[in-house]
Amino acid sequence: MDGIQRGVIMADWQPTACILCECNCGLEVQLEGRRLAKLRGDKRHPISRGYACEKPHRLDHYQNGPHRLTTPLRRTADGGFEEIGWDVAIREVAARLAAVRDTYGGASIFYYGGGGQGNHLPGAYATATRAALGSVFKSSALAQEKTGEFWVADRMLGGQTRADFEHCDVAMFLGKNPWHSHSIARARVTLKEIAQDPARTLIVVDPRRTETAALADIHLQVRPGTDAWLLSAMVALLLAEDRLDHAFLAEADGLDAVRAAFADVDVAACCARAGVDEALVREAVDRIAGARAFASFEDLGVQMSRHSTLVSYLHRLVWLLTGSYGKPGTHYTPTGLVRFASGASGHRSPVVGAPIISGLVPCNVIAEEILTDHPGRYRAMIVEAANPAHSLADGPLMREALGALDTLVVIDVALSETAQLADYVLPAASQLEKAEATFFNFEFPKNAFHLRRRLLEPPPGALPEAEIHARLCEALGAFDDAAVAPLRAAAEKGLPALGAAFMQRVLAHPKLKRYASVLLYRALGPVLPPDLAEGAVLLGLAFRAAMDHGPALARAGFGGPPPMAAMALFQAILDAPSGVVFSESRWEDVRPKTAGGRIQLALEDLLAELGRLAEPDPEDVDFPYVLAAGERRSFTANTIIRDPAWRKRDRDGALRMSPADAARLGVATGDRVRLSTRRGAVVVVVEVSDTMQAGHLALPNGLGLSGRGTEPAGVAPNELTSAADRDPFAGTPHHKYVRARVEVA
Ligand SMILES: Nc1nc2c(c(=O)[nH]1)N[C@H]1C(S)=C(S)[C@@H](COP(=O)(O)OP(=O)(O)OC[C@H]3O[C@@H](n4cnc5c(=O)[nH]c(N)nc54)[C@H](O)[C@@H]3O)O[C@H]1N2
Ligand SMILES: Nc1nc2c(c(=O)[nH]1)N[C@H]1C(S)=C(S)[C@@H](COP(=O)(O)OP(=O)(O)OC[C@H]3O[C@@H](n4cnc5c(=O)[nH]c(N)nc54)[C@H](O)[C@@H]3O)O[C@H]1N2
Ligand code: SF4
Ligand SMILES: [Mo]
């Protein structure tokens, strides 16, 4: 019996999932008391199929680290915290936020977060609390990475896209290192398969010879921040040599405008500016244009660098001009359980007037929207499952802004950098102490959803977010027992009765519909198995999915009228501890969802930007290096695990630098240097790495944490970044392009 170890009886392997990146690979865990003693990939998970990287084996540092909070905290007059009971906490938080709402309006209550890499149910329940408070504006990490891409994708194709790397013959990763950062299912297996097959080509665009680049057939080792030039050259070559898929482009508008805009692009000059050999660029273009199926993924290396929104656009031109859309091995719009992003909303933020894309205020303007005497400023904030004091640009400015709020409420498992600034900290049950899930469901044609079951009781004093939001709504008087009682009675009779009561009593009433998530939790939660109670909201989400994606759900076995399909799907989610395939789409149904149903190739505002690329970069003699502030490495996971002891290697998160720069400065691996930018300065340990090009520096993300449960290790990258350093269209930060200087410490 392999279940008996050191005298402790271990339970069987129990299914759960990894929470350290968006892949959420299925895991199996053996518990030893409350310890996550053994972890392995879960072969029954429909997407990861047993795959897991090295990181989750040390997940116990998340579950049982010294950072865990077990009682609500209230700020004291002397600036410290005191422990308070839940009743007091809920009553006071509700009263404080209601007072802000009543004095300044609900629009002054800002919501940030809602989930990280492993937990999206908090955001679903928070919709009810936000409705009760009249909160209008919100944001999350997506508004510092993906909103530029969302905006472009929405205008060109009417929806977000992902790529099918399993079936492509030419793959490209643009500012993306999936060997470490993953984001695609079973990344290392897929990368090796492409690399080892002589009939397939792997192209990597990255200034650093990353682990992924080392596997590539073609590594376009751009100078940092020059992707706009490289991609302009690629598009210009496709046009000049007529390597276009004309049959495909018959369904697209704007080709002539694109042609005209690229007529003057000087390919040789662009390649020179990007620092890449023109012959290699031509070879890459030749492989892409000649591909049977081309799949490509852009990520932070370009989305957090100069011209990021323009690059998202040029990137799409490369794959649309070659017809790489709507065929196996190319690009598609996933059939999600919830709509993940919705492009432009046309709204603007109240103070700065920044564009709100996919409902999210750009992260880089949040501090500016607080630190002002503008009447529309944010005065209170709820932060849930996010750590903006650490993760947003310009840490010092963010801390000042969070400190200037009338009320800051933080819902977290740890006393994070953000929680340390809060007026109230509400301790959440960990992601193994409640049912939890994410909406990072991007697979195609079969797509899967995984509701993980609770494996451990929360410690006394910590509550699941569902319960926290239900209590806050009740304290705010959002609804009363009379609204819940008939739903509860129906739930006790079974799902069909609840479904009917829910449609009739909640969805048909605009006032109650806003509280649907929490009403479902109150009515259905107690009837569900206790390890699935927080999954109640999924019934409502399944209803929406059934309305939006009937045929795809039916192909996966959830047919019939939407209410029937929704209930069958919900039941299947409850019954599948390792996840369930919920939709099956068809490649022939991958069609642009733009207003006219046609692909829009010409985005005039972005085409106009091309002209600006001819301008020379001013030399920056004071800050001659380019710093990538926030690289993904083997043992980084944003700030989800706070104890540096979890990292087997690179505990202090070294600053990577090229051998040439190290020689010039006279430093070696292990030495300390002073790294400064216009915003700040830190002292950091150096790692000399021949994967770096001269003039380029890289710091890992997620380090430099402070406070209870952590020891000093590494530096916080956003002590060095500036909020003003952002994309002119989407407001996303230039974290990968921070001008810097290095001196021997
Ligand atoms: N191990 C680990 N995995 C993670 C995470 C984690 O914290 N740790 N976080 C998850 C999250 S939240 C995200 S968003 C993803 C992000 O995943 P990635 O975007 O892959 O992560 P990064 O390492 O930040 O950046 C990718 C690459 O961009 C390159 N780069 C830097 N500057 C430039 C440039 O100017 N041009 C180009 N073309 N490339 C450039 C870097 O050298 C780096 O290899 O990772 C997820 N996965
Ligand atoms: N300079 C620089 N800055 C960056 C980046 C970069 O590359 N460079 N990357 C950016 C990117 S892509 C991202 S995604 C962000 C990530 O930054 P954030 O979105 O701010 O999130 P995390 O660091 O993942 O913090 C998650 C928080 O959730 C808490 N938590 C964990 N489990 C639970 C739970 O069950 N319930 C609750 N309520 N809380 C929980 C953790 O303790 C932690 O405080 O960082 C961004 N910041
Ligand atoms: S790939 Fe991501 S989700 Fe999968 S095991 Fe690694 S860190 Fe966890
Ligand atoms: Mo991210």
Angstrom distance (rounded) from CA 89 to CA 406: 16
Relative to beta strand 73-75, strand 424-427 is antiparallel
Flag whether pLDDT at 356 surpasses 80. yes
- Quote the ligand 1 centre to 99 CA distance (angstroms): 42
Task: Note whether 258 and 314 are same-domain residues.
Answer: yes
- Pick from 745, 661, 666, 649: nearest CA to 698: 661
- Quote the ligand 4 centre to 521 CA distance (angstroms): 29
- Pick from 662, 624, 647, 625: nearest CA to 700: 647
Residue 344 pLDDT: 66
Residue 709 pLDDT: 77
Task: Note whether 260 and 306 are same-domain residues.
Answer: yes
Distances (CA, A) of 378 to 97, 349, 362, 373, 691: 12, 10, 14, 10, 44
Phi-psi region of 590 (alpha: psi -120 to 50; beta: other; left: phi over 0): beta
Task: Note whether 426 and 543 are same-domain residues.
Answer: yes
Segment holding 626, helix H or strand E: strand 625-631
What lies within 8 Å, CB to CB, of 403 at 6+ separation is 421
* SS3 annotation, 496-530: HHHHHHHHHHHHCCHHHHCCHHHHHHHHHCCCCCH
pLDDT-derived band at 65, boundaries 50, 70, 90: confident
Alpha helices per DSSP H over 134-222: 147-157, 178-181, 187-196, 211-215
Angstrom distance (rounded) from CA 468 to CA 381: 16
CATH code of the domain in which 188 resides: 3.40.228.10
Domain boundary among 274, 305, 332: 332
- Quote the ligand 2 centre to 114 CA distance (angstroms): 10
CATH code of the domain in which 480 resides: 3.40.50.740
Task: Note whether 39 and 100 are same-domain residues.
Answer: no
Residue 474 pLDDT: 98
Angstrom distance (rounded) from CA 404 to CA 423: 11
Flag whether pLDDT at 337 surpasses 90. yes
Segment holding 14, helix H or strand E: strand 14-17
Residue 419 lies in a domain: yes
Residue 9 lies in a domain: no
CATH code of the domain in which 28 resides: 3.30.200.210
Alpha helices per DSSP H over 290-442: 300-303, 308-321, 366-370, 388-391, 395-404
Domain that residue 31 falls in: 14-63
Residue 339 pLDDT: 84
Q: How many independent structural domains does the chain possess?
A: 4
- CA-nearest residue for atom 45, ligand 2, is 391
Angstrom distance (rounded) from CA 467 to CA 122: 10
Task: Note whether 409 and 556 are same-domain residues.
Answer: yes
Task: Note whether 635 and 691 are same-domain residues.
Answer: yes
Cβ(303) to ligand 1 under 6 A?
A: no
Q: Which of 300, 310, 617, 642 to mutate to test the pocket of ligand 1 (most atoms within 8 A of CB)?
A: 300
Answer for the pair 339, 303: CB distance below 8 angstroms, yes or no: no
Relative to beta strand 599-600, strand 681-688 is unpaired
Cβ(721) to ligand 2 under 6 A?
A: yes
Angstrom distance (rounded) from CA 68 to CA 81: 15
User: How high is the mean pLDDT of the chain?
Assistant: 96
Provide the β-strand partners of residue 68. Answer: 414
* Listed range (3-12, 76-85, 426-435, 589-598) with the worst mean pLDDT: 3-12
Segment holding 62, helix H or strand E: helix 60-63
- Long-range contacts formed by 189-194: CB under 8 A, 24+ apart: 189/51, 190/165, 190/166, 191/215, 194/165, 194/168
Query: Is residue 479 packed enough to be buried (19+ CB in 10 Å), middle (13-18) or exposed (0-12)?
Result: buried
Flag whether pLDDT at 631 surpasses 90. yes
Alpha helices per DSSP H over 241-351: 246-249, 255-262, 267-274, 278-289, 300-303, 308-321
Query: Is residue 422 packed enough to be buried (19+ CB in 10 Å), middle (13-18) or exposed (0-12)?
Result: buried
Which ligand has the nearest atom to the CA of 51?
3
Residue 671 lies in a domain: yes
Residue 309 lies in a domain: yes
pLDDT-derived band at 710, boundaries 50, 70, 90: confident
Angstrom distance (rounded) from CA 487 to CA 494: 11
Answer for the pair 335, 591: CB distance below 8 angstroms, yes or no: no
Provide the β-strand partners of residue 293. Answer: none
Percent with pLDDT over 90 in the chain: 95
pLDDT-derived band at 711, boundaries 50, 70, 90: confident
Angle of the 537-548 helix axis to the 516-524 helix axis, nearest 10: 120
Angstrom distance (rounded) from CA 160 to CA 158: 7
Flag whether pLDDT at 508 surpasses 50. yes
pLDDT-derived band at 24, boundaries 50, 70, 90: very high
Domain boundary among 560, 584, 608: 584
Angstrom distance (rounded) from CA 398 to CA 733: 14
Ligand 3 atom at shortest distance from the alpha carbon of 23: 3
Flag whether pLDDT at 4 surpasses 50. no
**What pLDDT, in 10s, does the model give residues 454-489?**
999 999 999 999 999 999 999 999 999 999 999 999
Flag whether pLDDT at 1 surpasses 80. no
Task: Note whether 727 and 665 are same-domain residues.
Answer: yes
The mean pLDDT value for 193-221 works out to: 98
Answer for the pair 118, 431: CB distance below 8 angstroms, yes or no: yes
Flag whether pLDDT at 554 surpasses 90. yes
Residue 407 lies in a domain: yes
- CA-nearest residue for atom 3, ligand 3, is 24
The mean pLDDT value for 573-582 works out to: 98
Count CB-CB contacts under 10 A for residue 347.
Answer: 14
Residue 8 lies in a domain: no
Which pair of tokens denotes residue 55? 């990181």
Percent with pLDDT over 70 in the chain: 98
Query: Is residue 102 packed enough to be buried (19+ CB in 10 Å), middle (13-18) or exposed (0-12)?
Result: exposed
Residue 6 pLDDT: 44
Cβ(702) to ligand 1 under 6 A?
A: yes
Angstrom distance (rounded) from CA 448 to CA 583: 7
Four-CA torsion 509, 511, 514, 515, nearest 10 degrees: -90
- Quote the ligand 4 centre to 507 CA distance (angstroms): 33
**What pLDDT, in 10s, does the model give residues 414-435?**
999 999 999 999 999 999 999 9
Task: Note whether 354 and 384 are same-domain residues.
Answer: yes
Q: What is the DSSP string of 673-713?
A: EEEE-SS-EEEEEEEE-TTSPTTEEEEESS----STT----
Which ligand has the nearest atom to the CA of 48?
3
Ligand 2 atom at shortest distance from the alpha carbon of 431: 35
Residue 30 lies in a domain: yes
Flag whether pLDDT at 689 surpasses 70. yes
Query: Is residue 243 packed enough to be buried (19+ CB in 10 Å), middle (13-18) or exposed (0-12)?
Result: middle
Q: Which of 416, 465, 638 to mutate to test the pocket of ligand 2 (most atoms within 8 A of CB)?
A: 638
Angstrom distance (rounded) from CA 281 to CA 220: 7
Distances (CA, A) of 357 to 135, 137, 150, 362, 732: 17, 12, 7, 8, 11
Task: Note whether 405 and 446 are same-domain residues.
Answer: yes
Domain boundary among 541, 563, 584: 584
Residue 420 lies in a domain: yes
Task: Note whether 36 and 93 are same-domain residues.
Answer: no
Q: Which of 16, 22, 23 to mutate to test the pocket of ligand 3 (most atoms within 8 A of CB)?
A: 23
Ligand 3 atom at shortest distance from the alpha carbon of 54: 6
pLDDT-derived band at 745, boundaries 50, 70, 90: confident
CATH code of the domain in which 696 resides: 2.40.40.20
Q: Which of 145, 299, 412 to mutate to test the pocket of ligand 2 (most atoms within 8 A of CB)?
A: 412
Cβ(736) to ligand 1 under 6 A?
A: yes
- Quote the ligand 1 centre to 736 CA distance (angstroms): 9
Flag whether pLDDT at 700 surpasses 80. yes
Residue 9 pLDDT: 56
Angstrom distance (rounded) from CA 1 to CA 398: 53
Residue 8 pLDDT: 53
Residue 10 pLDDT: 61
Provide the β-strand partners of residue 436. Answer: 452
Which pair of tokens denotes residue 92? 């006071």
The mean pLDDT value for 627-639 works out to: 97
Q: Phi and psi for 673 in degrees, rounded to 5?
A: -130, 160
Task: Note whether 313 and 183 are same-domain residues.
Answer: yes
Task: Note whether 96 and 34 are same-domain residues.
Answer: no
Segment holding 235, helix H or strand E: helix 227-240
